Structure 1
Amino acid sequence: MATNMTSATDLPPLPSYSVVVAPDLLPWLPDFYLSIIAPTAAYWAISIFFHIIDVYDLFPQYRLHTPAEIAQRNKATRYEVFRDVIFQQIIQAVMSFVLGMTDPPQYTGMEEYDVAVWATRVRLAQRALPTLLGVLGVNAATVSKNMALSHPLLAGALAGGHYPFLTTELAGPDGIVVPAFATWELLVAKFIYYLLIPGFQLFAAVTVLDTWQYFLHRLMHQNKWLYATFHSRHHRLYVPYAYGALYNHPFEGFLLDTAGAGLAYKVACMTPRQGIFFWVMSSIKTVDDHCGYALPWDPLQHITSNNAAYHDIHHQSWGIKTNFAQPFFTFWDRLLGTMWHGDTSLKYERSRVKAQEFVDAETKKASAKAQ
C-alpha cells in the first residue's frame, strides 16, 4: 500500500495504490502457459483455414499458384514440411518457457496512479505555454483573463496550467480540498498510457524484428555456405503454402524467427501479455505471407505491402535475390534497393503452363501403364 503526494501545492495529489499479481487472461490457463501455447495455436488455426481453402479449391481466382504447381515444383513433401514445422515450434516453446521463467510477475493496481503521473506531466507541460506564446508576440496572461468566463479550461491552459476552480475533496474526516485534474488532462494521460506507449513498444518490436530478419535473411542468400547449409531448405518450397511458413533448418529457424522475436520482445521492454500479443501476431503474419492467396478481404494483405504476393516473388527462382524483408514492412528493401520492380504476370503464367503440362504428361503415363 502506498500513498504519493506531489510536492507542489498547486498540483493535484497522486492517488494511493495497492499492487497485486494480475489475474490470468484465461481463468483456466495461466499466462505462463498461454505464452507458450498461443503462438502455435494461432499458427495452426490460420494454417488449417488456408489448408481447407486450398484442398477444396474454394477461391481459385485468388490463387497465386495452381494445384499443379504445388505438385510439380515443390521439392519437399507435405510430411517433411509438417515434421520440420513441429520441430521448429518445439524450439519456440522452449524459448517461450525460458523467457517466461526470467520475466518478473505482472502486477495490477497502479493504473490510476500511473495515469495521474502522466496527467501531472501534461499539467507541467502547460507551464511552457505562456513563454511559447510570448515568443510569437501573444500575451498569454491577457488572453487568459479575457477567456476566463467563456472558456475557463482553455484560459487555464493559456495561463500555464492553472485551474483554481478545479478542486476535489479528499476522502476522510478532515475533508481536505485539493487541486484536481481537468477531464481533458486525464483523457490525454489515458491515451498516452493505454495507447501511445504500448503502440510505441509494438512499433519498436516490429522494427527490431524486421531489421533482424532482413539482414540475416539477406546474408543467408549472399553467403553460399549459409544458403546451401541452412536457408536452401526453406526454398525447397517454390510454391509456398500456409503451414510451410516455418519450414526451415532448425538452426536457421531458431536464429531468424525464435531469437529475433525474443530479442524484439526484450528490446521493446514489453510486458508478458504484450509479448503474447506480439508473438501471436507475428505467427499469424508469417502464415499469411506464405498462404499462397491474394484474398481481397484479408486485412493482413492490405495493412502493409509486405504480403503473400510480395513474399511469393522471393520464393521464385527469378525473384530469389529480391524482397528479403519480412514479416511486417518493406522499408529495408526500399531503402537498400532489393525490392522487385517490374511486371510478374508473364513469369507466373509460364510457370502455370509448364506445371500443367508436366502434370498432364504424368497423368497420361499413369493411364498408359494402367492399360
Structure 2
Amino acid sequence: MENATVPSISPVPGNTLPPLPNYTLSPLPPLVSPIPDAYLALALPIIAYWALSLFFHLIDLYDLFPAYRLHTPAEVLKRNHVSGWEVFRDVVLQQVIQTAVGLVLSWSDEDAVVGKEDYNIAVWAQRIRMAQSAIPPLLGMLGLDAQRLAKNMAGSAPTFAGALTGGQYPWLTQTFTQNGIEISAPAFAQWEILAAKGIYWVGIQAMQFVVAILIVDTWQYFWHRAMHMNKWLYTTFHSRHHRLYVPYAYGALYNHPFEGFLLDTLGAGLAYLATGMSIRQSMWFFTLSTIKTVDDHCGYALPFDPLQHLTSNNAGYHDVHHQSWGIKTNFSQPFFTFWDRALGTMWKGGDVSLRYERARNAAQKLVDQEHEKEGGKQSPVTHSQAGESKTADVRPYQDEVARNLSPQAHRRVKPSVPNGKAEKQALGSREQVLDDRQGGGVGVLIEEMQEEEREREAQGWLRRSPMKGTGSSRSRAGSGASSLTALRDRVNESLVGSCVTGQGKD
C-alpha cells in the first residue's frame, strides 16, 4: 500500500472545538522482520503451546515438583486410554487446521496501516471537550453555580475553571497555515490529550480484550456443555479428549479435529472479528488463550504459577472435569467460571481428596504388580487410612460394569458417591464414561469399582484384626492421614473455593 495523506477538517468560524490534524497512512512494518505480522500471529500460539508443554514435560520427566502434582506418574501411565504419540499426532493435526484457517482469513484481511493514531487521539479529545458541556447543568442540579466557582478558581487553577464552564479555554490557541493563510484555532488542554491517549491506547484495547474473553468463555462453555449433554456429540467427537483421565500439558488440544475447529479455532476467530482487534492485539489474545489452555491441563498446582491464582478456573478446577465422577461438571474454559456458577454446573461434591487418593493407589498397585511380574522391587505407594465415602443406591450405569465383574464383586460393590446434588453429578458423569466404548469407558469404571471393593475388604480386615489398636497401626494411619491431608490441601488450593474441605467426606 502506498502512503496516503488525508487532510484535516477545516476549522469552522465560531467553533470552539480544536481542529483535527492531518494524517498520512503507510503500511505497518512487521514486528519481526521479515515475517509478516499475520504469519507471526499464527506462529506465536503454536510456539507458546510447545514451549510451555516442554516446560511441564521436563518437570514430569525429572520429577522436579512432586509436592505439587495433582496425579502421580503411575496414574499418567495406567489411567489414560490413549498413547502419547496419538496425543501428539492429533494436536499437530489441529494446529495444522488452525493455521490453514488463519492463512485463509489473513488473505482476506486488509493490510494493516499506521499513521492515524494522532488523529484518532484528537477525535477522543474532541469528545472529551464536548462532554464537558454537561458539567454546568449537572452542577446546577446540585444547586451550584458553575460560573461563580470557575471565576473564584480562575487564578489558582485556570484549567479546572475552564472545565467547570463547560470546556471553555480561550487562552489555549494554536496557529497553522492552510492554503497559504495563517489561521488561529482553539487548542486542546494537556489533560484532554492525556485522557484521550489513555482511552485510545489502554481503555479501548482493554475493553476489546475483556469482551473477547467473555465471547470465548461463552462460546466454549455452551458448546462444551452440549458435547456432554448430547450422547451423539460426546461419543462422536468429545469423548476423544476425555480418554486423558490424567491430563498433561501437551494434551491440552488433544481433540477430534472437528471439535478443535469448532470450539478453539472458530471461537477465538469470532472473538477476534467481533471485537475489531488489530493483528497485533490478536497476537496477545491468541497466545494468552493458548497458554491458559495448556496451563489448565498441566497437572500441577504450582504456587508460583500466576495463572493458577488469577482466576478460579485453573488446573485443579479443570482436572475434576476429567475424572469419571466429575465429567459432567466444571464445563467452563479457558478463563473464568461464571457460567458454571450461574447455571449450577460447578462440582458440588466437596472434598475430592479421597477420590484422588483411591485413583492414586489403584494406579500404583498396577505398576507394582508389573514390577513384581518382571522380578523387580515393589514401587512405594502412600496408603490412605481415611474413612470410606458415603454410598448411594445402585443406579443404571452399574449394570454394564457389574456384568464384567466377578459374581462376588457384583453382589458387594456399590459406587462411592456423595449425597445431594453431587450424587446426581457423579452418577451422570459415570454414565457418560460408559458411552465411550472405544475409549475403554467400561474398563475405567471396572478399575475404579474394583479398587473400592479392595478398600472395603481392607477396612473389614482392619475392623476384625486384634492389632488395629496397636501403635504400629496408629503409626500407619497417621502416615496415611498426613499424606492425604497434603494431597487434599494441594487439590483444594487449586480448586479455589469450589471444593469444601472436610476429611472423610466426599
Which TM-score band applies after superposition, normalised by the shorter structure? Answer: over 0.9
Residue 68 of structure 1 is matched in structure 2 by 74
Q: Give the structure 2 partner of residue 351 of structure 1.
A: 359
Gaps of 5+ in 1: none
Q: What residue number does 1:267 align with? A: 274
Aligned match of 2:372: 364
Q: Which amino acid aligns with 2:6?
A: A
Which stretch shifts more, 339-348 or 49-58?
339-348
Counterpart Cα distance in 2 of 1:159 and 1:330: 47
Shift of 1:178: 2.3
**8 Å contact kept, 1:4–1:16:** yes
CA distance in structure 2 between the aligned counterparts of 1:356 and 1:66, rounded to whole angstroms:
8
Specify the SS of the correspondent of 2:197.
helix
Asked if residue 166 in structure 1 is aligned to residue 175 in structure 2, the reply is no
* One-letter amino acid of the structure 2 residue matched with residue 46 of structure 1: L
Match of 2:6 in 1: 2
Match of 1:212 among 215, 219, 240: 219
Partner of 2:487: none
Match of 1:289 among 293, 296, 305: 296
- Equivalent residue, structure 2, for 1:233: 240
TM-fit CA distance, 1:277: 1.7
Residue 358 of structure 1: how far off its partner (Å) = 1.5
Q: What is the aligned partner in structure 1 of residue 83 from structure 2?
A: 77
Residue 153 (structure 1) aligns with: 159
Counterpart Cα distance in 2 of 1:286 and 1:349: 25
1:101 corresponds to which of 100, 107, 111: 107
Task: State whether residues 63 and 293 of structure 1, in contact with CA within 8 Å, keep that contact through their aligned partners in structure 2.
Answer: yes
Q: Distance in 1 between matches of 2:300 and 2:34?
A: 36
Compute the TM-score of the two structures, normalised by the length of structure 1. Answer: 0.96
Output the TM-score relative to the length of structure 2.
Answer: 0.71
User: Is 2:202 aligned against 1:195?
Assistant: yes
CA distance in 1, matches of 2:50, 2:105: 22
**Equivalent in 11, 34, 39 of residue 28 of structure 1:** 34
What is the distance in 2 between the residues matched to 1:98 and 1:35?
A: 13
Query: What secondary structure does 1:177 align onto?
Result: strand
Instruction: After superposition, give the CA deviation of every residue in 1:19-78 in whole Å (9 maximum; x if it has no partner).
Output: 001111111211122122111111111111111111111111111111011001000110
Matched, 1:92 2:95: no
**CA–CA separation in structure 2 for the residues paired with 1:119 and 1:346:** 60
Q: Residue by residue, what CA displacement relative to the aligned partner does 1:121-180 show, whole Å, maximum 9, x if unpaired?
A: 000000000011111111111101111001111101000001112223326876543221
The C-alpha deviation readout for 1:285-318, integer Å capped at 9, x for no partner, is 1111101111111111111111111111100111
| CA distance, structure 2, for counterparts of residue 299 and residue 97 of structure 1 | 32
Partner of 1:316: 323
The alignment status of 1:131 with 2:137, answered yes or no, reads yes
Aligned length: 368
Q: Hey, what's the Cα distance between the residues in 2 that align with 1:314 and 1:194?
A: 38
Q: How far is 1:96 from its partner? A: 0.8
Mapped contact 1:289–1:307 kept (Cα < 8 A): yes
SS in 1 for 2:7: strand
1:353 maps to amino acid:
N
Q: Which is worse superposed, 207-216 or 169-178?
A: 169-178
What is the aligned partner in structure 1 of residue 52 from structure 2? 46
Task: Quote the residue 2:306 is aligned against.
Answer: 299
Cα displacement (A) at 1:279: 1.1
Distance in 2 of aligned mates of 1:46 and 1:170: 54
The answer to whether the Cα contact below 8 Å between 1:119 and 1:188 also exists between their aligned partners in 2 is yes
Structure having greater relative contact order (Cα 8 Å, sep ≥ 6)? 1
8 Å CA contact 1:103–1:272 kept in 2: the answer is: no
RMSD over aligned Cα, in angstroms?
1.4
Distance 2:270 2:183 in 1: 49
Letter in 1 for 2:154: A
Structure 1 residue 81 displacement after superposition: 0.3
Q: Which residue of 2 aligns with 1:185?
A: 192
For 2:108 and 2:306, locate their aligned partners in 1 and report how far apart those are by CA, in whole Å: 35
Distance 1:100 1:133 in 2: 51
Moved over 4 A (4+): 171-175
